[in-house]
Structure 1
């Protein structure tokens, strides 16, 4: 049964913070924080797969989703986004809570955890990209100009009120989100609903704060970042996307890929699991009380796989025509170590 969803606003000194809640407020709380230029809607598919015995609160950072902007004209830093978390925690009077975040939200969570030690009981990081914080000494000038010089050079554009922003058709806006964020149609539509508003018939405009495109990250040296992050005692689970590794986003913070780099032994990365299941064991009822082991979709971390038995019907004519000359292994059952190919 899906959890009940509720939405409301929390008052902050600069305006309102929008939150979406799922579940029973008497259950242990889990705070969900999105990535850059995103919204609480990004967590809907995930919450649907999570245990029902927790209370899930997804907040939208100022200038994102339906939350109010920070006062105009100011340059924004990662530290500015730590206090909104404190506002939410204070509103609910949480003594302890679990923190789950994606991408940029994991950075804000780390800064909150360092600033308010002892409040977070456990951390779940969804692709925490630490390169956003890593600045070697010889690149400090580059870091400064990327954030500070660029902000003032684009001051008018970044501080443009939403009322004067460009307008799009619904499909143009969907296509823009899909291209820039690599979203499915469903997620793009859910995200657009929270970061846009109608302008006139068939036209909409984005409502997020343009300054959120250039939020200043603190310039930690690689050694300082590792020393700081590995000193945090909070038990932490990191789900790391292979694509982010391939794109080099962890090259300057390889310690995030190594559980042994954390001396407190409180950091873990889920290990991909391949299960070879014998049909006879299924027939004998050995999985009757653990049917989830037969279903890859039952593992929300998507780190579990079962090799699919494959039967290939190969035409002799295709062999004679040389279509398998560059893939002769397809003609040899013994070339498949899992013994699932015939």
Structure 2
């Protein structure tokens, strides 16, 4: 059974700040590290360690802090493990010489985490890139996913392959430049300047308070041996050229048709702009045909709706997780 719902949550013409959503359940959190061949994958575990958590994944160049405002609004008995993807937040960067193929690497990463903890069936939640990874894992292992929540993405965004081919050489040169950039030339900022840089880069998708939440994991003091004072961004610069392994619309739909589990898709309006206008409705339609149940909501908000105005989606996410038998 599938369900399509379009919600108008305009709040009488008033914007609702993230501070309004800060009153939630007081929950314990614990920093964890998962060993991987290139170092560690860091994470933030919300709730009891005695319960299998929902695995949560952030967007491109964000980090696990992206869920810091949503998690306190979800049912207290549901544990959540928010992961810093490789090269993001507190997780290890890939070794030199390795590219990030973010829409493919994430499938292996989720599989590593599942095998590390010995789980047989999982529930996933993701924003943007993290939602695309949840989608891809559910397609790769359709009988081992109970359900997943996708926030402002349907699956990996479909890319015009002619544009991708035209930009390939430039991407390779940028990758080699970032790989060989000496630490002495790494940008270093005062705290306020770093926050301003990030706020401007997100171009209205986040507010000041949200940036400060993300940067708790997204920046670190400059190393003492660098002879610089201030902060640098902790993410791997090579992530800026991590979009070489993108999929065509046909590939995305082929994966969508393999998904069997329950799906909650929340699309923010206006949210993120996708260059292929057929992408979102086509992928949702494909999942409707194959998934056990698809719930689709359109809710007013920016691309980072879960971080800036989490109260607008917390009930939908809570209901879905409860209905998906998350213990």
TM value normalised by structure 1: 0.72
Q: Can you give the 5+ residue segments of structure 2 that lack an aligned partner in the other structure?
A: 1-24, 301-309, 318-327
- Aligned partner of 1:42 in structure 2 is 66
Q: Displacement of 1:301 after TM fit?
A: 5.1
Q: Could you tell me how far apart the structure 2 residues matched to 1:267 and 1:249 are?
A: 24
Question: Within 5 A, what are the aligned runs for 1:153-192?
Answer: 153-159=173-179, 160=181, 164-181=185-202, 182-192=205-215
Give the alignment partner of residue 238 of structure 1, picking from 265, 272, 286: 265
Stretch moving more, 152-161 or 236-245: 152-161
Give the alignment partner of residue 122 of structure 1, picking from 135, 147, 150: 147
Q: Displacement of 1:260 after TM fit?
A: 8.1
Give the alignment partner of residue 54 of structure 1, picking from 69, 78, 87: 78
Q: Could you tell me how far apart the structure 2 residues matched to 1:256 and 1:301 are?
A: 26
- Aligned partner of 1:197 in structure 2 is 220
SS at match of 1:263: helix
Q: 1:188 to 1:268 in 2, by over 3 A?
A: same
| 1:255-303 deviation per Cα after TM superposition (whole angstroms, max 9, x unaligned) | 3585586213522113769xxxxxxxxxxxxxxxxxxxxxx95862589
Matched, 1:85 2:110: yes
Q: Could you tell me how far apart the structure 2 residues matched to 1:116 and 1:225 are?
A: 15
SS at match of 2:264: strand
Q: 1:100 to 1:9 in 2, by over 3 A?
A: same
Q: Could you tell me how far apart the structure 1 residues matched to 2:219 and 2:313 are?
A: 33
Q: Displacement of 1:202 after TM fit?
A: 5.6
Q: Can you give the 5+ residue segments of structure 1 that lack an aligned partner in the other structure?
A: 274-295, 304-342
- Aligned partner of 2:16 in structure 1 is none
CA RMSD of aligned residues (A): 2.8
SS at match of 1:45: coil
Matched, 1:144 2:168: no
Q: Could you tell me how far apart the structure 2 residues matched to 1:128 and 1:71 are?
A: 29
Q: Could you tell me how far apart the structure 1 residues matched to 2:116 and 2:184 are?
A: 31
Q: Which has the larger radius of gyration?
A: 1
Q: Could you tell me how far apart the structure 1 residues matched to 2:248 and 2:45 are?
A: 37
Q: 1:23 to 1:249 in 2, by over 3 A?
A: farther
SS at match of 2:290: coil
| 1:54-111 deviation per Cα after TM superposition (whole angstroms, max 9, x unaligned) | 1110111110000000111222212123222222222221111210000011122222
- Aligned partner of 1:66 in structure 2 is 90
Q: Displacement of 1:154 after TM fit?
A: 1.4
Retained in 2: the 8 A contact 1:151–1:158? no
Q: 1:161 to 1:111 in 2, by over 3 A?
A: farther
Q: Could you tell me how far apart the structure 1 residues matched to 2:183 and 2:154 are?
A: 29
Q: Displacement of 1:17 after TM fit?
A: 0.5
| 1:171-211 deviation per Cα after TM superposition (whole angstroms, max 9, x unaligned) | 11101111112322222112112122212786111121111
Q: Could you tell me how far apart the structure 2 residues matched to 1:15 and 1:36 are?
A: 20
- Aligned partner of 2:21 in structure 1 is none
The aligned length equals 275
SS at match of 2:42: strand
Q: Could you tell me how far apart the structure 2 residues matched to 1:152 and 1:64 are?
A: 20
Retained in 2: the 8 A contact 1:104–1:129? no
